[in-house]
Structure 1
């Protein structure tokens, strides 16, 4: 109790943080300890009424919205428009502001943009696009590539091995295939890694087209080609039935009805299969939520923040969140420690849910809409409330802290949840239905905001180490005959400092 150094080490471990070495920061350890405790306590008295508001252009419409590394990223997938805006930047932060009008995002003629990755921390924009076959443009066979550029300009990224990453097609299909077409694509990055997941339709192989999930990973700083490929046929319907996320800079998790863990330390070969974790029920419309800005930063960004940064999140003790919307909205909060402590686990044998799931997980079930975001060991959830059999009109916002020191740091605030919780889910099969009970017990502390949000206005929530971000849009409804159309009147981003 008399050693500030020892208490600081314990506090770091309890909050699942790692000290950043060689920062040159001469702040006394006792002051660092107090700052760490004060920042942890601040989350339990967060005031959703104290915010700064950033008004956005009235004509701004975006189907895809994301806050990453202190920037708001917006993209209209149909019109191929994109915007990135810095949000109340800090003095040491590099900021980027760009607007891409139609036809300027991808400069390759006759191309279709499939997805875009923006990484302000590394000044990187990656654009995956498809181009029709020049020899037979009426057919759906395509060439897919990934363009790498600097985010603040159109030059080749200085750390990239080349301007274009070469995307391979699915193996095992010959020239008799009539059509290979990308139906949807997801592009994600983590440090030196970029991964592209595509859902493909392959026609001409039998009585009906096949659906293929094709995942390829590059070390974009060292090579434009990659042999790190995972490919498998998937059942119909296939849209959004599979998702993936990075766990640190050397592991990848693919989520279907199983959680398959791979090592990607060497992308010159197929990812090494490490373990398979069984889910408690069949999943559909899976979406993984794991912020990349909380995983790995570039060396240049760490150098810029060296005087201010004293600790960082522990990659082996974070939270992974994924959602499934069928048969009801389920939110899975999972401690990533289970994916790093693999002693005694045999890769070829799926690990039953009852063996790994209940003690490492909390599962929440919501009958209506839900929004969720994670950062480190904290979870921000907004879910609808209202009487049964009525259309929900408001969101409640909950903050949850799953770190081991959440209870002592809360100083009497919040609700401590240690006891197991059970949800019931009805699973439909082709000829019957089954009622499943899922019990989980990962401890947490929860605080509920007294402010409620309109369901039609709140379109996105995000969380990082210092702030909460709320994207709100006010909508007008225009009627044309018997049809009604929603038109955006104005949008705003609320920023809550903690």
Structure 2
């Protein structure tokens, strides 16, 4: 910025308080650049807790999702944030609390968001068991969770011929969705309810919806719908996926596959079957929102599809198919269906003793579980936010949207063999996985955040690793070199009673089977 005399304006001649306010409007990189211009600016930035806090957030690629609690100073927020950054120097698994839950709550139906643990189980005809536990206030006397009473408020006795019962839960919005499909007509019965009250959800424009199955079958003698209906959501967006097999061969195998994908705003209402995408010849194995405008789908044709769903008045727009070097029947996508965000956590009160941040969406990682060979692909979400180079696309592919593995995979992913245990947890930019050391399992934590790699606290890995197709069964040799930093916990051993690992920016939850005959799981809660 130049003065009217053509000389650079100086901020050094204005009041310190005003100078700090002006600098606070800049990005963290802008603040750093200003601090390097002169001694006065350097001292201003160094002595300002607010500016140091902005720099620390940006350097660690975090964003706050709450206004600062009135009884927590910026200095305290800065201290906690720096403490989290230095936690890499010692990866400890100190248990802060323990729970025991019945086995009726499958580990796959448990989510943790913002210190809230939500567990649920669904049954045919719409019956639901659910419970939400506040991990901050849960005391030892409430740590043993008895089976919940089945909630029949949304059970419909006319649905006893249903072929499908599916559910979706979003604890941040107190939302539970159940869906059934009667055998005698292709219309899904979708119900919205509040987890806390077991009543109709107040934010749902319509508490019950009917969605016509859009796969093109008219004669039930030619085959029945497949028992698959999947929900995923973020904020006010929901995606609903259904599939069906057609023809007399549906019962025996060799049938034509059809699917439909619906995305709509459940706060605003309206029928979700008005705008939808149709496909055939393959199926979508998993669907996950990356943001409210981007949807990922793992498909049976060994690829990850990226859809633009920002405009709900048009059908989901397929932007790219990222091809994978694996066999299609051995895949599953591991990415939190509910994650921290300003919109999803705005109604929750920030705890007095903690400040809540979340990883910038582009710095998160997505994990692809491969069952044969046992391995995981850790993929940088930044890939799905970038402008894809036209040279990546295979012009000869269907619709010209396929991107071969060698164009995108090596530089944007890292592959780990999982010989000892198929379990791992993923949250933000971090992955925790058990690795066999001698005869026991030890936890390895890897962070793919560029700032963590730059700090170099822990073992930094930047060299590529190669897994040969002839040895491990991939469709081609797999070389990956996404940088990461890794630390290992050497203080505690695990055995094969380990059942699941859940990870977010605040907590690690480790699920194990107790060494008793009780049909339950022990849950260890570990602070990050």
Q: Report if TM-score (shorter chain) is over 0.5.
A: yes
| More displaced stretch, 300-309 vs 261-270 | 300-309
What are the ranges of 5 or more consecutive residues in structure 1 without an aligned counterpart?
134-140, 387-392, 477-486
Q: CA deviation at 1:441?
A: 0.9
| More displaced stretch, 22-31 vs 221-230 | 22-31
Q: CA deviation at 1:160?
A: 0.8
Instruction: Find the counterpart in structure 2 of residue 461 from structure 1.
Output: 501
Instruction: Find the counterpart in structure 2 of residue 38 from structure 1.
Output: 83
Contact 2:187 2:210 in 1 (8 A): no
Match of 1:253 among 260, 271, 296: 296
Instruction: Find the counterpart in structure 2 of residue 48 from structure 1.
Output: 93
What are the ranges of 5 or more consecutive residues in structure 2 without an aligned counterpart?
1-41, 394-398
Contact 2:425 2:500 in 1 (8 A): no
Contact 1:121 1:301 in 2 (8 A): no
Q: Can you list the C-alpha shifts for 1:126-164, whole angstroms capped at 9, x where unaligned?
A: 11222232xxxxxxx543222101111232211111012
Structure 1 CA distance, aligned partners of 2:465 and 2:64? 34
Structure 2 residue 267 is matched with structure 1 residue 221? yes
Instruction: Find the counterpart in structure 2 of residue 143 from structure 1.
Output: 187
Contact 2:215 2:243 in 1 (8 A): no
Instruction: Find the counterpart in structure 1 of residue 180 from structure 2.
Output: 129
Contact 1:284 1:324 in 2 (8 A): no
Instruction: Find the counterpart in structure 2 of residue 244 from structure 1.
Output: 287
Instruction: Find the counterpart in structure 1 of residue 155 from structure 2.
Output: 107
Q: Can you list the C-alpha shifts for 1:250-289, whole angstroms capped at 9, x where unaligned?
A: 1001122122111111223210222222223333232222
Contact 1:128 1:187 in 2 (8 A): no
Count, aligned residues? 458
Contact 2:107 2:499 in 1 (8 A): no
Greater radius of gyration (CA): 2
Structure 2 residue 502 is matched with structure 1 residue 494? no
Instruction: Find the counterpart in structure 2 of residue 445 from structure 1.
Output: 485
Structure 2 CA distance, aligned partners of 1:383 and 1:183? 36
Structure 1 CA distance, aligned partners of 2:259 and 2:146? 33
Q: CA deviation at 1:191?
A: 1.0
Instruction: Find the counterpart in structure 1 of residue 256 from structure 2.
Output: 210
Match of 2:61 among 16, 23, 26: 16
Instruction: Find the counterpart in structure 2 of residue 354 from structure 1.
Output: 406
Structure 2 CA distance, aligned partners of 1:106 and 1:337? 40
Q: Can you list the C-alpha shifts for 1:182-221, whole angstroms capped at 9, x where unaligned?
A: 3223222211112222332223489953233333222111
Larger helix share, 1 or 2: 2
Q: Can you list the C-alpha shifts for 1:346-386, whole angstroms capped at 9, x where unaligned?
A: 68332222222111111112235311221111111124566
Q: Cα–Cα, structure 1 residues 297 and 16, in superposed 2: closer, same or farther, change >3 Å?
A: same
Structure 1 CA distance, aligned partners of 2:53 and 2:476? 44
The Cα RMSD (Å) is: 3.4
Match of 2:460 among 416, 427, 431: 416
| More displaced stretch, 328-337 vs 177-186 | 177-186
SS at match of 1:284: helix
Q: Cα–Cα, structure 1 residues 178 and 73, in superposed 2: closer, same or farther, change >3 Å?
A: same
